[in-house]
Structure 1
Amino acid sequence: MRLSTRQQHHVLPGVSGTARVERRTRVLLPRLQAGDIAVLDHPALDRATAQRLVDAGVAAVVNASPMVSGRYPNLGPEVLLRAGIPMLDGIGAAALPAVRDGSRVRLHAGAVLEDCDAGGRQLASGREVDADTLAEDLARARGGLATQLETFTHNSTAFLGREQDLLLNGVGVPVPSTRIAGRTVVVVADGPDVAGELDRLRPYLREQEPVVVAVGRSADAVCERGRRVDVVVVDAADPDAVPSARTLKGARDVVVRSGRGTGGGETVESLERLGVRPLRIETDATAEDAALVVADAAEAALVIGVGMDASLEEFLDRERSGLASTYLTRLKLGARLVDAAAVPHLYSGRVRPHHLLLVMLAGLVALAAAVGVTPVGQEWADQLSDTLRGLLP
């Protein structure tokens, strides 16, 4: 008699998944699938990148660099922590080649291991980032804010020297065919909570019909909610952020932002192949800031920012040269720039016909009740009662 054998599979501790390895975060993000372990080299993980990792459904994140560099309290690790995604940092750039892209790996006790029944050999090691270690890192990083502000001030002065004609005088800003002067403009950026902010603004967009200027992929988010985008701003330096062809063709204007001296030729050519003839703006400002500049130069009466950074920590979290342009464009718009979070508190919606009808009915009921208690009202009620009885068989 043959005896059947049963293989026993041991569930090993830790988090397992397919490793997706790429030092360049911008290249890695589109490749991620749910359950993958993202292995990257991203010092001081920012909030926007962290949110895209969460949206991709990664099982864990391994960073060759520290999650918190110590220069400022960046917001990305907190996003991953709230989403319950395990983090391992500081494995070092030299350890990245040891983790083969597409292989099965397991994270346990601060180590990256081959995922196999025997436990697997160690490929790399680092530090587990949890709530306690993150709190300590952020506390130390807050001490570096003064240095960051000094650097920020210097960068802003240098940027203004290069871009003063564009920022202050509108030189080189394209003129869209969309009529903007004197109207409210909603500028939508691809921020971490852009979908939620658009949902909260839905009544305002429907009733007031402002001009909608969307940056990159956020244009698709606007169209998904049944609202046409008037102006799409595309960043030639980030081809992965170009919205769908349908969105581009449906817009009245498409503006391509390219760095000074670069021209954005490939992006312009790809748009022209779609039948879109884009406008161009050459500036070292970000695409988001270029959208604000276009609205300002076209004399918008009010600009509502959706998906944009609103606090000092959010500004510093981006850790890029574009921080200076963000600061200066917001100074340029001044009181005309309103954050989308404030709109639901300030705008309760316009009066609709059925609202007026309800008020009229309530007034008629009150009038009838007042007349009914007077002698004349009682006489009318008696006459109406007699008339009704006479009509009945």
Structure 2
Amino acid sequence: MSRSDRTTHAGDGTVTGALRIEPSVRALLRRLRPGEVAVIDILDLDQQSAEEIAARRPGAVIDVKASISGRYPTGGPRVLLEAGVPLIDEVGSAILGAKDGAKATVSGSQVLVDGTVVADGREVTDDVLADAMQDATEGMRVQLATFTANAMDHVEREADTILDGAGLPDVGLDLEGRHVVVVAPGFRHREQIASIRRYIRDHRPILIAVGHAADATLELASAPHLIIGDVDGVGDDALRSADRVLLHEPRGGASGQARIDALGLAHTVSDSSLSSTALAILLAHTQGASVIVTVGVESSLQDYLDTSQADASGTFLARLQAGTSIVDAPALAQVYRHRYSPMTLVLLVVAGLVALGAAVWSTPAGRAWAEDLWTMVNSWIGGA
């Protein structure tokens, strides 16, 4: 069904479509269809979640909480606005009681079902977002303090793993001296994979995919050598294509284990409290990878604050431990140039000479010159 079949856009900006109510983004992404009105319950919408929601092309997004609260300048609302998706936030929890699938109309800051206003919040426009971002900058001190506290908590609990790789499972891959690409499902990870495909073709690195980034890895690069993390959202094709699976669900979920068992896939398990991305980086580092290219992994302070703080602080420590072997995909894409093999260069020269010879031979003067040259060469050979 096309988007136009599911939603109606009036000339005044009014949007009409079916309500899809899922407080959890992961659950929402499994059910959301183009043109539907997505209802979420997220305080400070992060860039990754917003990007994944926008990719489903909803008619509008309704947030129960403030999509940008003022704690820090989160990037999610900007992602939706740039994608042309209307965003209404601070509507309150009453809308969660509306009937899932009911036809709703979004007009300005209001959400109506059967002509009755069921929610009224804040229409997030460019001007509203600019003011909120300015206020949010002042809240970064508190967020930074929280981030630091989370990092110290990881140091207390996972110091041996971070420093020495203690407790990391054997995944059966030889990474010594190899290039490794860690693909996490972060903001613009698909775009980043596409930007380094030439590097991947040239160097054939070990590909480690984190969670549902395995699908993008298989589609845009190659089959992942290792999938690590919660595999509940990973497609069957990607799971079956991987050489190894490391099941890691630090929040205690069991759905991934059931999925692996149902598919009959061999796997190992880790119960580390670090994020799956952190584990992937530490695995590559402790096993001697010479270069670790990160895709969809936080690299700036705002990126770290825009992600789950418990996960981001562990990833930050893992990156520090990997040190100079870490290269971010956006930077790699800027500086990498295609590497041609010697045989390719020889073939290019030969092809150029053949083209030049054909051009010379096509003219009478050129043909006469070539015949004289051939006679001269033969006389030299005969004289020798």
Q: TM-score, normalised by structure 1?
A: 0.83
SS at match of 2:65: coil
C-alpha spacing 1:114/1:345, structure 2 compared with 1 (3 Å): closer
Alignment partners' CA distance in 2, 1:148 and 1:94: 29
Alignment partners' CA distance in 1, 2:207 and 2:300: 23
> Which residue identity lines up with residue 59 of structure 2 in the other structure?
A
Alignment partners' CA distance in 2, 1:383 and 1:151: 81
Where in structure 2 are the equivalents of 1:131-210 lying within 5 Å? 131-210=126-205
Give the stretch that moved more between structures: 156-165 or 222-231. 222-231
> Which residue identity lines up with residue 136 of structure 1 in the other structure?
D
Q: Which residue pairs with 2:124 in the alignment?
A: 129
Q: Deviations over 1:343-372 (max 9, x none)?
A: 233321222434233346779989xx9xxx
Equivalent residues of 1:272, 1:278 under 8 A apart: no
SS at match of 1:273: helix
Equivalent residues of 1:203, 1:349 under 8 A apart: yes
Q: Deviations over 1:6-43 (max 9, x none)?
A: xxxxx685111111112233322211000000112111
Task: Work out which of the two has the higher radius of gyration on C-alpha atoms and give 1 or 2.
Answer: 1
Unaligned runs of 5+ in 2: 1-9, 361-368, 379-384
Equivalent residues of 1:285, 1:322 under 8 A apart: yes
C-alpha spacing 1:273/1:61, structure 2 compared with 1 (3 Å): closer
**Which of 341, 344, 347 lines up with 1:357 in the alignment?**
347
> Which residue identity lines up with residue 215 of structure 1 in the other structure?
V
Alignment partners' CA distance in 1, 2:31 and 2:220: 26
Equivalent residues of 1:38, 1:58 under 8 A apart: yes
> Which residue identity lines up with residue 28 of structure 1 in the other structure?
L
Where in structure 2 are the equivalents of 1:177-256 lying within 5 Å? 177-225=172-220, 227-235=222-230, 240-241=232-233, 243-256=234-247
Alignment partners' CA distance in 1, 2:372 and 2:242: 63
Q: Deviations over 1:140-180 (max 9, x none)?
A: 00011111111211221111100011111211101222211
The number of aligned residues is 355
Equivalent residues of 1:268, 1:278 under 8 A apart: no
Unaligned runs of 5+ in 1: 1-10, 370-377, 388-393
Where in structure 2 are the equivalents of 1:248-327 lying within 5 Å? 248-259=239-250, 262=252, 266-327=255-316
SS at match of 1:17: strand
Equivalent residues of 1:231, 1:252 under 8 A apart: yes
> Which residue identity lines up with residue 202 of structure 2 in the other structure?
E
> Which residue identity lines up with residue 127 of structure 1 in the other structure?
R
> Which residue identity lines up with residue 92 of structure 2 in the other structure?
G
Alignment partners' CA distance in 2, 1:112 and 1:165: 52
Q: Deviations over 1:294-315 (max 9, x none)?
A: 1122111110001212211111
> Which residue identity lines up with residue 178 of structure 1 in the other structure?
L
Q: Deviations over 1:237-291 (max 9, x none)?
A: xx542x223322222211111328x5x6553343133221211222111111111
Alignment partners' CA distance in 2, 1:42 and 1:308: 21
Give the stretch that moved more between structures: 287-296 or 357-366. 357-366
Q: Which residue pairs with 1:5 in the alignment?
A: none
When the two chains are superposed, the root-mean-square deviation of aligned CA atoms in Å is 2.6
C-alpha spacing 1:126/1:350, structure 2 compared with 1 (3 Å): same
C-alpha spacing 1:12/1:183, structure 2 compared with 1 (3 Å): closer
Alignment partners' CA distance in 1, 2:38 and 2:147: 31
Equivalent residues of 1:72, 1:316 under 8 A apart: yes
Equivalent residues of 1:172, 1:282 under 8 A apart: no
Residue 56 of structure 1 pairs with residue 45 of structure 2: no
Alignment partners' CA distance in 1, 2:166 and 2:308: 28
> Which residue identity lines up with residue 157 of structure 2 in the other structure?
R
Displacement of 1:217: 1.7
Equivalent residues of 2:20, 2:39 under 8 A apart: yes
Alignment partners' CA distance in 1, 2:24 and 2:236: 26
Alignment partners' CA distance in 1, 2:21 and 2:197: 39
Q: Which residue pairs with 1:108 in the alignment?
A: 107
C-alpha spacing 1:63/1:253, structure 2 compared with 1 (3 Å): same
Give the stretch that moved more between structures: 280-289 or 29-38. 280-289
Displacement of 1:316: 0.5
C-alpha spacing 1:303/1:67, structure 2 compared with 1 (3 Å): same
Q: TM-score, normalised by structure 2?
A: 0.85
Equivalent residues of 1:105, 1:113 under 8 A apart: yes
Equivalent residues of 1:257, 1:290 under 8 A apart: no
Displacement of 1:183: 0.6
